[in-house]
Structure 1
Amino acid sequence: MAILPIVRYPDQRLRMPCEPVTAFDARLKEMADDLAATMRAAPGIGITAAHVGILEQVTVIELDGPLSQRVYVNPVIEWLSPELQRHTEGSVSMPGVTDEVERPARIRLTYQDLAGATHTDEADGLLAVCLQHEVDQLGGIFWIDRLSRLKRERIVKKFRKMGEQ
């Protein structure tokens, strides 16, 4: 497993929609392993291939350490609950800054695993937040796009200031 360089905001690759994965092979498994290692080193609880400049629909999430690792290939959110929840979010591509984002509390997601088998899962709580966050990223929507213009400008200014130090 390699730790890959993380693309930093405002790199334009973070705003580009990712392509669906069509080859379920050893390269995909290696990419998932590298993403997991990169996420742990960052540290973070979720990462997409876009975070390392690979524009393919792959995300890895670990909410409770390596044994909880889940890989989602070509994920699509099929349903969002009308109930909302607020949760603090951030990104491995914009370390050191966070803010609260409001999202649906529950979701239904269809995705493929590393072998190409299709699954449908429902999620709530932190897993629902993470999945929505990472699926957004795969679609070229960076997490700060879910904030008000004022909050987004404040976050960007703070992140730039941190880079100047």
Structure 2
Amino acid sequence: MTTATDDALGEGFAQGDESCLAEAYRRWGALVYTVATRKVGDPEEANDITQQVFVGAWNSRGTFDASRGSLKTWLMGITYKKVADAFDKRSRHLRSVEAATAEAGMPGQSTPVTETLLDHMVLTREMEELPDQQQLVLKMAFYDDLSQSQIAERTGLPLGTVKSHTRRGLMRLKKRLEVDGEAHR
């Protein structure tokens, strides 16, 4: 659960208090950077993503709604979107290089997009299609590595509801991936 201090920080952030931005960066900047580094595998790109997260959060601070989750959770959601954007950019770049290589009549390079990258992009897209509560529960489970009990405690949702959201979300993802021909057995 969030503390009164966290609530006040989120409220001050949403209202444009620059000291709250500085405090949010102090508290969670390293976490954002670590997650970005683990996901993209490039420290320089992770630095860029971290900057994009905090600049983007500050610029859209009016959309932060503490009733939907903590400031930390909101920042982590932005982080995952920025990581997905970085993967999309890489994918577009690879397609451009392949197209230019083909246009020039040069033999193509054998630099396939890794299965992990594609899986991540597909899952990110499908996760965005889930209802908000299922999305929140699954993101907290996968990205924050929280147990269902911890998710229940942090969100204030009953444990049974968290379990239901987890199951329904996973089933919906599985069904969507099977329909799209993306699921591997």
Place the TM-score, normalised by the shorter chain, in its bin: under 0.3
TM-score by length of 2: 0.25
- Larger strand percent: 1
TM-score normalized with structure 1 length: 0.27
Structure showing the higher helix proportion among its residues: 2
